Amino acid sequence: MSEPEERPHIDEALVRRLIAAQFPRWSALPVTRVLPGGIDNRTFRLGTELSVRLPSATGYAGQAAKEQRWLPRLAPRLPLPVPEPVGAGVPGEGFPFGWSVNRWLEGRAARAERIADRVEFAESLAGFLRALQDVDPAGGPAPAQHTGFRGGPLTVYDGQTRAALEALAGTGEVPVATAAAIWETALAAPWAGPPVWFHGDIAWGNLLVDGDGRLSAVIDFGCVGVGDPACDAVIAWTLFTGESRRVFRAALGVDDATWARARGWALWKALIVLVAERGPEGDPAMAADSRRVLNEIFTACAG
C-alpha cells in the first residue's frame, strides 16, 4: 500500500518562519500570497524582488530540486525570462519538503482578455517552445510521476479517458463517439522522434504578459522534462482559436501525429475535469471551461 499523500498547511506565517530560519538576510521583507494560487505549488512574493515557491503535496515534492538544477541550464538558451532560483530551502518549521526562493518576474497571468494580439502571442510562444526543444537534452529528466507523465505516451491515461467517456455517455453533454475517435487517433500516433525538452504545463496561468499585453515570461517548470513535446501544444485548444491556433501550429512546426497527440492530451484533461466538476459538488466555472475546451476540440475536428 502506498503512503498517504501529505498536504501541509501553507500560509504567510509559515513562509516567514522558513525565511527567518534559513535565509535570515531576507527575514525583514514582507511576505504576500500570490493569487490565483497554483495547484502543484504555492507562491508568495518576498519583498519586491523575490518569490518563494513551496510544493503543496507529496506528489509535487521533487519539483523544487528539479527546477533548481535545470532552470540555470535552460535559461541562457531561451528567448524569454524564466524563474531564476537564488535559494534552495530544505524541510523545516513543520514543512516537510524542499522549496525555492526565486527572482520575482514582473507580469500578469495571460488571461485571454489581457492579451493584446493573440496571433502575435501565438508566434512568441511557439518561438519560446522551439528554443526550449533545441536545448541539448542530454541527462534531462525522463517522463514519470514528476512530470504528470507528460512527455510520455498517452496510454498512461487511457483508462481515465475511457472511464470519463463512459460517465458522459447518454448525458448529451459530449459527442462521445466523436471524442472516442479523437482519442483513438491520438493513441495511434506515438512519438517516434528523439526526446526533446518540454515545459509540461503550458497554460495561461504559467505565461505572463506585460503592460502592453505581450508575452513577457514563462513560469512554473515543475513538470519540465525530456521526451515527447506534444503536451506543450495543448494550449492550441485551451487558449487559441481560429487564426491564432493556425499560426501557433505553423510557427511551432507541428506535424500531424504530434498535433493528434496534443489534441489527445487536451481531450483527456478536459474530459476528466468535466466529469469531476459537473455535479452539484463541483466547481461550475471549471466545468464550464472544460466544456469550452471540448467545444474547441470538436469544432476544429469538424472544420
User: 168-199, pLDDT tens digit by residue?
Assistant: 999 999 999 999 999 999 999 989 899 999 99
Q: What is the mean pLDDT of residues 7-15?
A: 95
Q: Is residue 185 part of a domain?
A: yes
Q: Is residue 92 part of a domain?
A: yes
Q: What is the distance between the alpha carbons of residues 196 and 191, in angstroms, rounded to a whole number?
A: 11
pLDDT at 302: 61
Query: What does pTM read for this prediction?
Result: 0.94
Q: What is the sign, positive or negative, of the torsion defined by CA atoms of 268, 272, 277, 278?
A: positive
Name the residue type at position 264: G
pLDDT at 39: 81
User: 195-251, pLDDT tens digit by residue?
Assistant: 999 999 999 999 999 999 999 999 999 999 999 999 999 999 999 999 999 999 999
Q: Is residue 155 part of a domain?
A: yes
User: Which range of residues forms the domain containing residue 76?
Assistant: 12-105
Tell me: do 251 and 210 sit in the same domain.
Answer: yes
pLDDT at 280: 87
Tell me: do 200 and 277 sit in the same domain.
Answer: yes
Spell out the long-range contacts of 151-155 with Cβ–Cβ below 8 A and sequence spacing 24 or more.
Answer: 151/195, 151/198, 151/200, 151/225, 151/226, 151/227, 151/228, 151/229, 151/231, 152/227, 152/228, 153/190, 153/191, 153/228, 154/186, 154/187, 154/261, 154/264, 154/265, 154/268, 155/187
Q: What is the mean pLDDT of residues 247-257?
A: 97
Residue whose grid cell is 513543520: 94
Q: Is residue 44 part of a domain?
A: yes
- Domain of 95: which CATH number? 3.30.200.20
Tell me: do 128 and 67 sit in the same domain.
Answer: no
Tell me: do 113 and 33 sit in the same domain.
Answer: no
- Assess contact for 218 and 82: CB atoms under 8 A: yes
Tell me: do 134 and 276 sit in the same domain.
Answer: yes
Alpha carbon distances (Å) from 219 to 51, 157, 223, 234: 12, 25, 11, 16
Tell me: do 133 and 278 sit in the same domain.
Answer: yes
Tell me: do 155 and 263 sit in the same domain.
Answer: yes
From 66, 82, 105, give the residue that closes a domain.
105
Q: Look at the chain and report how many structural domains it folds into.
A: 2
Res 279 pLDDT > 90: no
Tell me: do 62 and 134 sit in the same domain.
Answer: no
Tell me: do 136 and 255 sit in the same domain.
Answer: yes
Helix axes 176-187, 256-277, angle to 10 degrees: 140
pLDDT at 201: 96
Q: What percent of the chain has pLDDT over 90?
A: 91
How many residues does this entry show for the chain?
303
User: 35-64, pLDDT tens digit by residue?
Assistant: 877 788 999 999 999 999 999 999 899 999
